[in-house]
Chain A
Amino acid sequence: MSPTQCAQFERMLEEQPDGPLAAEATAHMEGCTDCRMLWSDLEAIRTTAMEWGGQDVEPPEYLWIALRRQLEFEGLIRGSIREGSQRGWVSAWFGAAPRWALAGASISLLLIAAMLAGYQKNEPNTAALLPTRMSISAARPKLVAADLGKALDGDLKQVFDSLPEGNTVLTSSLRENLGIVDNLIAVCEKSVREQPDDPVARDYLYGAYEQKAVLLATAMDRSALEGQ
């Protein structure tokens, strides 16, 4: 088969890469092994790519949490989205009315804010009080993580002491959810130990601490309400 015909065949493929093949091209392919092989290979690539594309990929949930935090920080979201979103999962955890979830500043959250603010005073060009965006490019303090963990452990005792006696539902719910969050923290802490310079690992750890802080704050608000 002449090289000119093969070149024409490939030009036709380039113009119509998704087929169908023109009659001329089909006729050429019947008599040309190389072009038949080429066509078959390109079809195999296309089929495999299609199968690949059919596989479902779901982004992790923390991506939205991080994005939402950044949107809040930049003031793009009017009002606080936390009133909606966090109420959702916090309510699901405790099965209670959302009003206590909005009950204001908790010791833990204030503590985190204060610590990060303290750190960020030493950082140029940083105005955020809370960690905002999970980004591989965002620098985060290394030292604060350990302090946060200790502070939260300190809060934990206070929260359990404050729980109304006899409310086993609340206590067991808190224990169960603390178990989940503590597992997450353990995984994140392990990642940070293994890759101490990886900002993504540190970001995830902060996210996990923040979840624990919100959980403790919610439990305190709830117990305060029940005590009224």
Chain B
Amino acid sequence: MARTRPTEVHELGEAEAIRRAQQGDAEAFERIYRLHNRRVYALCLRMVGNTAEAEDLTQEAFLQLFRKIATFRGESAFSTWLHRLAVNVVLMRLRKKTLAETSLDEVTEPDEDAGGPRKDIGGPDLRLSGSVDRVNLERAVEQLPPGYRSVFVLHDVQGYEHNEIATIMNCSIGNSKSQLHKARMRLRELLQEFARDRAREERQAAKGSSGSGH
């Protein structure tokens, strides 16, 4: 629910706000921030899964935006420009973290040439039964490699179209679609792993309780 803000900046259209911000107008900066802060913050939060980090990244994205706003000439949509900046800021952070934590991306990126759906042979039925637990999905998204995570969050969570993602991520539309599919496939695997772990724990718990009954 939106809180009452200390400062209300109304009635200034985006184009006018941009023009005035380019001249250093304080009110215009705030207007631009208010217009876009929720979407940028949501994007950061869903990409990193951590409130403090999402706040820091949101701030960084807006700072970069305001530092460069004088160079904005309106060739592209302002929101696309901002979201591209935000995604880049997040990706930079994720890459730094990945490097620091010894990259697992290479081993978790599914094989480009792998053909056909992956089948689990001899395991329990790991179908997700047409429903996915939100908490598990968030957990699984956090484990995706940064590239897959970006496309998945932008498209499936934030609702961007592939052409927008292609502009933001500087890739082709086909590439965006392919990355999205691979991200979903990887998520499915992760969710199945979670289900397998849970089933194992339940079996062990059941064993434990039946053992203690004797």
Name the contact of B25 in the complex, choosing from A48, A50, A60, A78 (C-beta under 8 A): A78
Check if B130 is an interface residue, CB within 8 A of chain A.
Answer: yes
B157 at the interface (CB under 8 A from A): yes
Contact of B42 with A by CB under 8 A: yes
Whether A85 touches B181, Cβ cut-off 8 Å, given contacts A44-B132, A61-B3, is no
Contacts of B73 in A (CB 8 A): none
Binds A, one of B62-70, B83-91, B196-204: B62-70
Most buried by A among B41, B52, B133, B185: B185
Give chain B's interface secondary structure class: helix
- A107 and B66 CA atoms in complex are apart in Å by 32
Residues of chain B lying within 8 A (CB to CB) of residue A80: 26
Q: Are A67 and B184 in contact (CB under 8 A)?
A: no
The smallest C-beta distance from A137 to any residue of chain B, in angstroms, reads 8
Q: Write out the residue numbers on chain A whose beta carbons fall within 8 Å of the beta carbon of B109.
A: none
Q: A99-137: which have CB < 8 Å to B?
A: 133-137
* B-contacting residues, A193-227, CB 8 Å: 200
Once A53-B157, A76-B66, A80-B26 are accepted as A-B contacts, the answer to whether A10 and B115 lie under 8 Å apart by CB is yes
A138 closest partner in B (C-beta): B56
Query: How distant is the Cα of A43 from the Cα of B23 in the complex, in angstroms?
Result: 48
Known: A14-B177, A14-B181. A46 touches B7 (CB 8 A): no
By the criterion CB–CB under 8 Å, are A3 and B188 in contact?
Answer: no
Main secondary structure of the interface of A (DSSP, over half): helix
Please state if B128 and A84 are interface contacts (CB–CB under 8 Å). Answer: no
Task: Collect the chain B residues with CB atoms within 8 Å of residue A79's CB.
Answer: 24, 26
| CB-based contact B30/A49 at 8 Å | no
* Interface residues in chain A, defined as those with a beta carbon under 8 Å from any beta carbon in chain B: 3, 6-7, 9-10, 13-17, 34-35, 37-38, 40-53, 56-61, 63-64, 66-68, 70-71, 74, 76-81, 83-85, 88-89, 92, 133-137, 200
Does B8 reach chain A (CB closer than 8 Å)?
yes
Q: Is the CB of B157 within 8 A of A63?
A: no
* Structural contact, A16 and B127, CB atoms closer than 8 A: no
8 A–B contacts from the bound complex (CB under 8 Å)? A17-B184, A38-B188, A48-B133, A49-B137, A52-B137, A59-B41, A70-B63, A136-B52
Write the B51-83 contact mask toward A (1 if CB under 8 angstroms, else 0): 011011011101100110000000000000000
**Shortest Cβ gap from B166 to chain A (Å):** 14
A84 touches B26 (CB 8 A): yes
Q: In the bound complex, how far is the Cα of B111 from the Cα of A7, in angstroms?
A: 14
| B168 at interface, CB cutoff 8 A | no
**B114-147, CB under 8 A of A: which get 1 and which 0?**
0111010000000111111110011000000000
Beta-carbon nearest neighbor of B41 in chain A: A59
Asked if B156 is at the interface of the complex by the 8 Å CB criterion, the answer is yes
- Bound complex: CA A17 to CA B172 (Å): 15
Assess whether B184 is in contact with A57, with CB atoms less than 8 Å apart.
Answer: no
- Residues on B with C-beta less than 8 A from A83 are 26
In angstroms, Cα B180 to Cα A49, docked, is 12
Does B107 count as interface, using CB distance less than 8 angstroms?
no
